[in-house]
Amino acid sequence: MLEDALLGALAADNSIMLTGDEVSLASTFETERAAAAKLALLAAARPVLERPKRAPPTPAELSDEQRAAVDAAFTRLLSVVTGGPGTGKTTLVKAMVEQAKAAGAEVALCAPTGRAARRLEDATGHPATTIHRLVEWQPGEGPLRDASYPIECDLLVVDESSMLSLKVAAVLLDALDEDTHVVLIGDADQLPPVGAGKPFADLIESGAVPVARLTHVFRQAARSLIVQAAHAINRDEPPRTQAGEEEVRDFFFIEKPSDTDAADEIVALATERLPGHYDVDPIREVQVLAPIYRGAVGVDSLNERLRARLNPKGERCLDGPLRTGDKLIQTRNDYSTGLMNGQIVIALGEDEEGEELLVETDAGERLGVPAERTHSLRPAYAISVHKSQGCEMPVVIVPVHTSHSVLLSRNLLYTAVTRARRACVLVGQRQAVIRALGRADAFRRNSRLAGLLAVAEGPTAPGSCGSSTSRGSSA
């Protein structure tokens, strides 16, 4: 058959790998193999981080699930925590950090995006950084940190780990010392990452490491209808929009059967009504999340309309389509500039020479993007739900319409709702919400990592890291 001949030719050229009835890109195959080997090494290794003799008091409000997760951070080199909004992941990280610091251990906190890292630092009071900064990524070159120059810490906590693509996870794993304790924290119910692979979900599926599943929603968080809506969606139940006594009405649904009427409503909400009601910046603090790009309530059309309202007089930059003041999103990893897929920036204008676009990142950094690299930056007044992972905003607006049926799913709706902190507004058709709730597999993704974890031989893994001579001790 022609198909078999083509696959055979690609395999002979080392472009792909054929294993039984599975077909992989050769680069993905090797990355999965190396990641599985390092994960297996960590999963099987003996713990070296000691509990402090004089441990700080554990918060009384910790649930049994949280206490088990804190214990696993010390008793296993590699552990996983998964939980939805309001289940106390941040409180858990604070407890881990306090226990480790009391033992004299060096703690590092990181997250995939600058916004998530800043949120983690604010919530815990402990310095946090992006993964790319942690591995000392050099634009155009790659990470300085690797097996020969590993990250110097005793306990590494990685927040928003469900966002990790296979490549980012592999870079981080390769930069770990072989006796560094690692805790991966995320939400397994969100969409898979923007890049290839789903290492967080695969690690949970493999059963190779202890997994703390946080299910208890704490009372204060349970007052939020956003939190309640997220958990209702996971149970395949229509989310509630009417608040009871002592509840906070921060989740809304506006019925608009027509996609054009829904688009008009979204533009009015995003540019005037919600910014005015919540006293927020309509560009930096309001985000429209759409399932697809096409159509009246798709990303492209909404971006055009929102930009016309929010930045109509922005000066053109570099003789291209981008304007000063534009909210932009990076649409692919660009290792020469250091901007990663899904990263949101604000255009500040062009440099004095007219050769670079100056942007402000979500971490507050200023970067210069050469004119020839700006093709990967697109308007971000509206972005896809998939691109929004790790990006929390005070106010989120989500069109839900049957014209999006091809991508509507439970985890897409769940991911969109959980991006909101102060208010979430769904605009569209109840029928579309019901359709999304009844579909859980719209984003099925094939991966070999979970299976490889069962057979990987960690100690012989390529790229294994050297050991460190000092670790946290009792205090």
> Tell me: the pLDDT tens digits for 40-57?
999 999 999 988 877 777
HEC states along the chain? CHHHHHHHHHHHCCCEEEECCEEEEHHHHHHHHHHHHHHHHHHHCCCCCCCCCCCCCCCCCCCHHHHHHHHHHHHCCEEEEEECCCCCHHHHHHHHHHHHHHCCCCEEEEECCHHHHHHHHHHHCCCEEEHHHHCCEECCCEECCECCECCCCCEEEECCHHHCCHHHHHHHHHCCCCCCEEEEEECCCCCCCCCCCCHHHHHHHHCCCCEEEECCCCHHHHCEHHHHHHHHHHCCCCCCCCCCCCCECCEEEEECCCHHHHHHHHHHHHHHHHHHHHCCCCCCCEEEEECCCCCCCCHHHHHHHHHHHHCCCCCECCCCCCECCCEEEECCCECCCCECCCCEEEEEEECCCCCEEEEEECCCCEEEEEHHHHHHEEECCEEECHHHCCCCEEEEEEEECHHHCCCCCHHHHHHHHCCEEEEEEEEECHHHHHHHHCCCCCCCCCCCHHHHHHHCCHHHCCCCCCCCCCCCCCC
- Predicted pLDDT at 391: 81
Homologous superfamily assigned to 224-341+372-438? P-loop containing nucleotide triphosphate hydrolases (3.40.50.300)
224-341+372-438 and 1-216 share a CATH fold: yes
Over residues 235-280, the pLDDT tens digits come to 999 999 999 888 999 999 999 999 999 999 999 999 999 999 999 9
Homologous superfamily assigned to 1-216? P-loop containing nucleotide triphosphate hydrolases (3.40.50.300)
Domain boundary assignment for the chain: 1-216, 224-341+372-438
Q: What percent of the chain has pLDDT over 70?
A: 90
Tell me the whole-structure pTM to 2 decimals.
0.86
Over residues 379-418, the pLDDT tens digits come to 999 999 999 987 889 999 999 999 988 889 999 999 999 9
Over residues 116-150, the pLDDT tens digits come to 888 899 989 999 999 989 999 887 788 999 999 99
